[in-house]
Amino acid sequence: MTASTRQTRFKIGGMDCASCAAKIDTAVRRLDGVADVAVSVTGASMTVSHDGPLADDKVLRQVARLGYGIVKDSAAASRTHGQHGDHEHDHGHDHDHDHHDHAGHDHAGHNHGKTTASRSASAPASEALHVHGGAEPGQPWWRSSRALLTLACALALAVAYVAGHAFPAAERWLFLAALLVGLVPIARRALMAALAGTPFSIETLMTIAAVGAVLIGATEEAAAVVVLFLIGELLEGVAAGRARASIQGLADLVPKMALVERNGGTAEVPAEELAVGDVIVVRPGDRIPADGEITDGSSDIDEAPVTGESTPKRKSVGEAVFAGTISADGVLKVRVTAAAADNTIARVVRLVEEAQEAKAPTERFIDRFSRYYTPAVLLVGALVAVLPPLLAGADWSGWIYKGLAILLIGCPCALVISTPAAIAAGLATGARRGLLLKGGAVLEGFAGINAVAFDKTGTLTEGKPVVTDVVAYGRDESGVLSLAAALEQGSSHPLALAILGRASAAGVAVPQASGSKAISGKGVEGDVGGVAVFLGSAKAAAERAPLTEAQRAAVEGLNGQGKTVSVLVADGAVAGLIAMRDEPRADAAAGIAALKGDGIRTVMLTGDNRRTAEAIAASLGMEARAELLPQDKQRIVGELKREGLKVAKVGDGINDAPALAAADIGIAMGGGTDVALETADAAILHGRVGDVWRMIRLSRSVMANIRQNITVALGLKAVFLVTTIAGITGLWPAILADTGATVLVTANAMRLLRWRG
């Protein structure tokens, strides 16, 4: 994409499947000046990349002709990539746009394009929005124009049945009228799609089959087939709406209003108007309206809506909070750190929508297959209709009927939707549990992972040392902690913070120290209540007070466990030992065990010293490679791949960038505000090691679902193909083979929304 390429985003109504997206993609791509098109079914959006200005009315008119509601997204202004690096889509590697000619169905009921098409590009967005095919925002599906068309066609068919019995002479014309109620919009879709570059659509097959049925006298069956088709499409739209709502519902977690401190008081303002630096007040039970940092107060924060973490976390001054989470029991003051468009939930929604624009390899294969499949169905239907009468003198009417039934059996809707429906549901359910996978290719790739390389600090461990052992000599542990904490007051060194944290947790009184000073490379010393105190390394402590053999053995034993040991000297004698270590995350051992239980190899790659790395790795039951530079980690990932393993690398997304890039899949571990969220292939929002295993399990569940869907789609077609040629089934069972399969496939994919991992 060149520096001058711009992007314009549109919202689209009535688009419920991958075929709809493909049809829109093909039509818009034909416009002059369009460089690339990315359509998201779940996001109900389209991003058009173009060189220089693009008249919006051209896009509006082109899409509206297909029967979809469309409006320029005023919330996403055009971006020039040379100036804005954010959200740049590399659509080239995943979209395979050359193969978007597969059968697209834009669903009867979309026949309202001219209102939107006639609007000028300069018209306000609020005036241009007309969602004709599906329910408008906030409107139930049963009030949509598609539902009304389906109801009208069904009622017309019912009236034709009743009136036909009363007036047998008019029966054929009554069924023809009922047929036209549904077929005219479908035929218009077929024509518009053909003119826009998609001649082989499901509407084309439906139109040919219905018209052919009328010509051979099967008008009643043709009308029933159209009603069944419309019902199937309506059910598909409802299911697609559920998938869309699953991820878009995240945006509703952020409250619309916020209490902000201004002019010595508080004022209620729209959350979208909050600016970075504003201080907001969050009351007990309130949802937090913005990403921020606590400046006053403490509270248990329920992060389940954002991260899926079931246990509330106690947070206080200096800690980060996410928009959409809930302050359970305390009043907080929070300094806003991200505007509404950039808060955690907004970024998650945006990343998932972008991910759904990127096709998985299986999805791209189905697209390419569909490009040839639909014309092949037309050819097979024609051959079945004409060859037996020509070659064997069979009955023309009977075999034409069978050929038309084959057109309906061959409708590719169920096959085309089998993969994207499962991918969309998988991406959405992962996002709701804090598992971000950037695209179908990544989601599919996780299924094959059989080796995971972890960074240590901040990935397998918490990223900060804690006091693990306090050994006292001549006094109790509280006395040792009290003296050590007195020396460390005011220090921001990680080891000092660990000691102060342990003293605070233990409720130890911390006296004031006088004359405290740091001694470079050795430790810190001062006077505490008239007692000369030193805290530092064992070597530096031995210069002030000799260590006994037992004390030296204790220090060695703690060092052997990968712990850093500080020796406390008071009044010229060793008073105690304080051991600290960056401990594994609470779920690290269980997460590693889950991966190993699935036959996945785990290895730790760290720049830390070998003894510490091996101690942590041994406690987790995994192998360790220590004292590594970034290029060493990259080399080891390459070695694992050369062994035939498919490798995922888990790290912070920044320091481990070379290894993340070398791996088959790079996973960022950390909070939603981490820049790693933007750089890796996948991200784990709440830092649980077990979520790596859950990502792999989710991927395998999705791939199993896709295999089930394809089996159902092709299996039903094969069964009805045989029964149709054998003369057992006719037109309406044929459409059930496709419509029924579409509903089954979509419903099966929606089961993934209930996945719990």
**Catalytic positions:** 455
> How many angstroms separate the Cα of 66 from the Cα of each of 60, 72, 236, 418?
10, 17, 18, 23
Q: Do residues 693 and 678 lie in contact, with contact meaning Cβ atoms separated by under 8 Å?
A: no
Q: SS3 for 453? A: strand
Classify the C-alpha dihedral 330-334-339-344 as positive or negative. Answer: negative
> How many angstroms separate the Cα of 618 from the Cα of each of 321, 561, 592?
34, 10, 12
Following CA atoms 510, 515, 521, 523 in sequence, which dihedral angle do they give, to the nearest 10 degrees? Answer: -30
Using a 10 angstrom Cβ sphere, with 0-12 exposed, 13-18 middle and 19 or more buried, the burial of residue 197 is middle
> How many angstroms separate the Cα of 416 from the Cα of each of 92, 100, 275, 363, 744?
21, 11, 44, 8, 13
Q: Do residues 585 and 689 lie in contact, with contact meaning Cβ atoms separated by under 8 Å?
A: yes
Residues 6+ apart with CB under 8 A from 618: none
The separation between CA 521 and the C-alpha centre of its own chain, rounded to angstroms, equals 48
Q: Give me the DSSP letters along 78-147.
A: -EETTT--TT---THHHH-GGG--S-----TT---HHHHHTS-TTS-HHHH----SSPPTT--GGGSHHH
Cα–Cα distance measured from residue 24 to residue 585, given in angstroms and rounded to the nearest whole number: 47
Q: Do residues 685 and 434 lie in contact, with contact meaning Cβ atoms separated by under 8 Å?
A: yes
What is the CA angle 34-36-37, rounded to 5? 100
Q: Do residues 422 and 702 lie in contact, with contact meaning Cβ atoms separated by under 8 Å?
A: yes
Q: SS3 for 312? A: coil
Q: Do residues 204 and 102 lie in contact, with contact meaning Cβ atoms separated by under 8 Å?
A: no
Cα–Cα distance measured from residue 190 to residue 508, given in angstroms and rounded to the nearest whole number: 78
Length of the chain: 757
496 phi and psi angles, rounded to 5 deg: -65, -40
Q: SS3 for 411? A: coil
Q: Do residues 630 and 656 lie in contact, with contact meaning Cβ atoms separated by under 8 Å?
A: yes
Q: Give me the DSSP letters along 492-560.
A: --HHHHHHHHHHHHHT-----EEEEEEETTTEEEEEETTEEEEEE-HHHHHTTSPPPHHHHHHHHHHHH
Q: How many CA atoms lie within 13 A of 473 on its CB side?
A: 19
Locate 327 and state its tokens. Answer: 């302050």
> How many angstroms separate the Cα of 741 from the Cα of each of 404, 695, 723?
18, 28, 16
463 φ/ψ sector (left φ>0, alpha ψ -120 to 50, else beta): left
The β-bridge relationship of strands 623-625 and 647-651 is unpaired
